[in-house]
Amino acid sequence: MNKRQLIFIIALIVVVILISVYIELVIKPQNMGMNLKKVNPLAVYTHSNLSIILDNKPVVIPSHIGINKSLWRDHSLDKYGVPGMPMDEEGETTMPGMTPLYTNNNNGRITIGSIVDRNYTLGEFIYIRGQLDLNNKKIMAFVDNKPVSNYSGIVLKDGQNITLDILTTS
């Protein structure tokens, strides 16, 4: 082996050692720290509360709007929601995806769980459900007991209380 080859092999060994040291001291600790922290895949995770009163009677807002396919009519926001994913290693059981606006119970709590940071409106939630007939109705909207003129444009914010008082006008 000549001197040039020996220098090349030594330089190669030094480079490999430096790369290994860099990985061990810099990259691995960063990844370990990231894995130790809980990483939320959602850019937005808040809750708004909705009450609907139709002709002086409270309306039950069903659980699983935006989760259960029978309570999910409009799919225009699906790309912003949580995608479906396997729930077991074999991939036999799959959790369905959901919209970024959904309900977990029937007490009117709207969950905003979005993978992108953007505003969502009450109108978008109503379109997802798709079964609230507002034709020939007078709609009075309130956010935290203050009147709002455009109910569909109400931006959903954490902790707010929204009331829709709907009267049939026919």
**127: its two tokens:** 């379109």
Q: What is the pTM of this model?
A: 0.71
Q: How far apart are the first and last CA of the chain?
A: 100
Cα(155)–Cα(113) distance, integer angstroms: 14
Residue 119 has a CB neighbour count (10 Å cut-off) of 11
Query: pLDDT tens-digit profile of 1-24?
Result: 788 888 888 888 888 787 777 777
- For tokens 């960063």, name the residue: 30
Residue 71 has a CB neighbour count (10 Å cut-off) of 18
Domain coordinates in residue numbering, the chain: 1-39, 44-168
Query: pLDDT tens-digit profile of 69-115?
Result: 788 888 888 888 887 766 666 666 666 678 899 998 889 999 998 98
